[in-house]
Amino acid sequence: MYRSQKDYYALLGVLRDASMEEIKRAYYEAAQRLHPDKNKLAGETEIFLEIQQAYEVLSNPKRRSQYDATLSKEDAPPAIIQQKVLYSRPNLVRLNEPQLIYVLLEASPRQVDEKIPAPPLNICLVLDRSTSMQGEKIDMVKAAAIQIMQSLRAEDIFSLVVFSDRAEVLIPSAYQSDRIKLAARIQMIRPGGSTEIYQGLEAGFNEVRRSLDPKRVNHVLLLTDGHTYGDEQACIQLAEEAGRLNIGISGFGIGSDWNDIFLDALAGRTGSNSTYISKPQDIQRLLVDKFNALANTFAEDVILEFKEGAAVELNYAFRLQPEGGPIAIEELLHLGPIMQDTPLNVLFEFLVQPSASKADMVTLLDGALKLVITARPIPIPPIRLKLEREVGETPQNDPPPPAILNALSRFTLYRMQERAHEEAEAKNFDTATRHLKNLASLLLTQGEKDLAKTALLEAENMERLKAFSQEGGKEIKYGTRALLLSATENLQ
Amino acid sequence: MIVCSNCKHNNMTGAMFCTECGASLGRADTTTTQTIKADNLREPVKNKGILSPPPAVMVKNWVTLHLMDTGQVLPLAERSEFTIGRISEGQPIMPDIDLSPYQAYANGVSRLHAVIKREASHIFLMDLDSANGTYVNGKRLNPNVEHTLKNGDVVALGKLKIQILLKA
């Protein structure tokens, strides 16, 4: 049981020490979603009334303290997810120079008596049909779209948008029963025109929003093979809006001509990621895998609201699984989804300045994890996350936890290719070449022979042509990313 | 500050892998080459040539390499995968097992020659597209294809013969 009596804090989704400001904000957010004028589902009005009651108590300081007195410390509701935190070092050291510390966070569903059912979907496929998709690519995309449509369950909502320089809603968002007719419609897709991602993305976003339902996995799958020009900023803004509404966007790039950095940034705004499809034969498998993963979602996007400690910087955040990818460091971190069978693993790198290490205890980060359990719209209380370490005079030489060591050894590979990209961007071609050569030999020692070869070839390209080849750059990026997934297998 | 022992790059305190070359900066190192030193070795086996039952091996070893020319045995434990080759000066390639003390160069062992690994109860050998090839009982392996090993198989890396002793 996760809520025996009415917990007003849980209803509003705030911590017990929440400020008046936070309580107000939480109430307005809930009201926007659940107000009787707006809600759609049976039971939501009742939830809204409870939330209103909670707000009336908690917004009044006197009534709040009376209510608080009835709460004992122990009956804080058991969290519906469990989290585990590992640090790379048992303590920080008092130093006159900056130091690093790594933290690995794992969040997984708590085993509860009640089985949470697989959530129904509300998804939209947004497919690029520009001229460059001609031939095998468009054929494979059609086959994938038809396979996905065939495997929809009766309770799933599906829509399909095709776009080039303009978008067309081929299948409007709805429960789909006449699948033969839809398959025929998909078969009719003909390539032509240029690529303007915003057109397609907006149409897809609108389709998903039309059927938006917190009990569903609401998701846009964007598939493209090209660059978009001039509308990147508009796309990112749309993705931010999607992130706020808990609509996921994942990107699929076919071949070598698409913009991986852009697609990663786009998907990252919603806690999702981009996937590299090197050859058309892989389109169907990768799209269908993603579709199956969506139906296995436990919480679609875990959000970390946080403050860094004084003189501490969060340098880097990276999701190891599910779906490895960088996490954009913004006011809120979209950490990514928790799957029913796969926990969320995030690796953080903190830079601690000397002034912080003067104290005996350093707070690295203080915040709360917020999430919505798909298939259950009742808000759950945020989960406090406070990362802190003691400061000692001397380092303790305990070996780091194997899980963090293992993850970091693979993460180092990804970071090296990223540095090579950064150096190439800054026109330091010699440094970029050196990074690639080092990466190649490191990959060799880890037995990744093919990827090592690619890295060596790219080192040559960098030396001679002062650039990555489009293909090789992506091979290495997504190849080292895939290695991270294999690193997390034995984390449990 | 931590100085990388591999490339002398200065890393920040608390870093675990060198930002320059990616080598581990720590203590419990999982990826560096193990050059097998004499004190890791068991007594050289007297009779050269094919051995029947393996000498009592340490409990944790999952495979023992018996170097047939010199009679030495190399028990392998801890990790489930080892790359085999030889270190040559000035090259960044670091196999897990360095055979250069055993005439590897003269016998035609590549710098990164083969990989031996364990999956469940099976032991696999894979040639890493070496110059002179990997042979099992005289038969050349296709590069990059895993081959299951049995106890007593004789593996040749180029001309360097190694007998595989598996835990019974």
**What residue of B is the nearest CA neighbor of A442?**
B22
Q: A379 vs chain B: nearest CA distance in angstroms?
A: 39
Residue B49 clears pLDDT 80, i.e. is over it: no
Encoded tokens for A126:
């947004």
- What string of DSSP letters covers A116-164? PPPPPEEEEEEEE--GGGTTHHHHHHHHHHHHHHHT--TT-EEEEEEES
| Contact (CB, 8 A) for A57 and A71 | no
Burial of B106 (0-12, 13-18, 19+ CB in 10 A): exposed
B22 at A interface, C-beta within 8 A: yes
Q: Where are the beta strands (DSSP E) in A176-287?
A: 217-224, 248-254, 274-277
Containing H/E element for A203?
A: helix A197-210
Q: Look at residues A96, A400, A99 and name the one whose alpha carbon lies nearest to residue B13.
A: A99
The set of residues, in sequence order, having a beta carbon less than 8 Å from that of A313 and lying 6+ positions away, is A350, A351, A353
Q: Report residue B151's pLDDT band, with 50, 70 and 90 as the boundaries.
A: confident
pLDDT tier, B56 (very low <50, low <70, confident <90, very high otherwise): very low
How high is the pLDDT of residue A348?
A: 93
Distance from CA of A456 to the nearest CA of B (A): 12
Q: Is B13 within 8 Å of A95 when comparing Cβ atoms? A: yes
- The neighbour count for residue A276, using CB atoms within 10 Å, is 23
Chain A residues touching residue B128 (CB < 8 angstroms): 449
Checking if the pLDDT of B45 tops 50, the result is no
Distance in angstroms (rounded) separating the CA atoms of residues A192 and A187:
15
Coil/strand/helix, residue A470 = helix
* Predicted pLDDT of residue B46: 42
A436 → chain B, closest CA residue:
B21
CA A380 to chain centre: 19
The answer to whether the CB of A372 falls within 8 A of the CB of A300 is: yes
The pLDDT, as a whole number, for residue A378 is: 63
DSSP 8-state code for residue A373:
B
Q: Which residues pair with A122 in a beta bridge?
A: A157, A218
Chain A residues within 8 A of B12 when measuring between CB atoms:
97-100, 351
Question: pLDDT in tens for each of the 492 residues of chain A?
Answer: 344 457 787 777 777 777 888 888 888 877 777 777 766 666 677 778 888 888 888 888 888 888 887 776 555 555 677 888 899 888 888 888 889 999 999 988 876 555 667 788 999 999 999 888 888 889 988 988 898 888 888 889 999 999 998 899 999 988 888 888 888 889 888 988 888 899 999 999 999 999 888 788 899 999 998 788 888 899 999 999 998 888 999 999 988 888 888 888 899 888 888 888 888 888 888 888 888 888 888 888 888 988 888 889 998 899 988 878 888 888 888 898 888 888 899 999 999 998 888 888 888 999 888 887 766 656 677 788 889 888 888 777 777 888 888 888 888 888 888 888 888 888 888 888 888 888 888 888 877 888 888 888 888 888 888 888 878 888 888 888 888 776 555 443
Best residue in A91, A312, A405, A490 for a mutation probing chain B (most B CBs within 10 Å): A405
Q: Do A405 and B16 touch (CB under 8 A)?
A: yes
In chain A, residues 381-410 whose CB comes closer than 8 Å to chain B: 397, 399-400, 402, 405-406, 408-409
Gyration radius of chain B's alpha carbons = 17
Of B59, B63, B86, give the one whose Cα is nearest residue B73: B63
State the pLDDT at residue A195: 86
Euclidean distance between the first and final Cα of chain A, in Å? 25
Which among A300, A261, A252, A283 is positioned nearest to A421, based on CA atoms? Answer: A261
Judge whether B73 and B90 are in contact, CB under 8 Å: no
Residue B60 has pLDDT above 90, yes or no: no
Nearest by CB to residue B22, choosing from A95, A399, A412, is A412
pLDDT digits (tens, 9 = 90+) for B17-44: 888 888 888 643 434 455 544 444 444 4
Strand order in the sheet with A297-308: A92-93, A383-392, A361-370, A297-308, A332-339
User: What confidence score (pLDDT) does residue B30 get?
Assistant: 38
Q: Determine the Cα–Cα distance for residues A220 and A205; give it in Å rounded to an integer.
A: 7
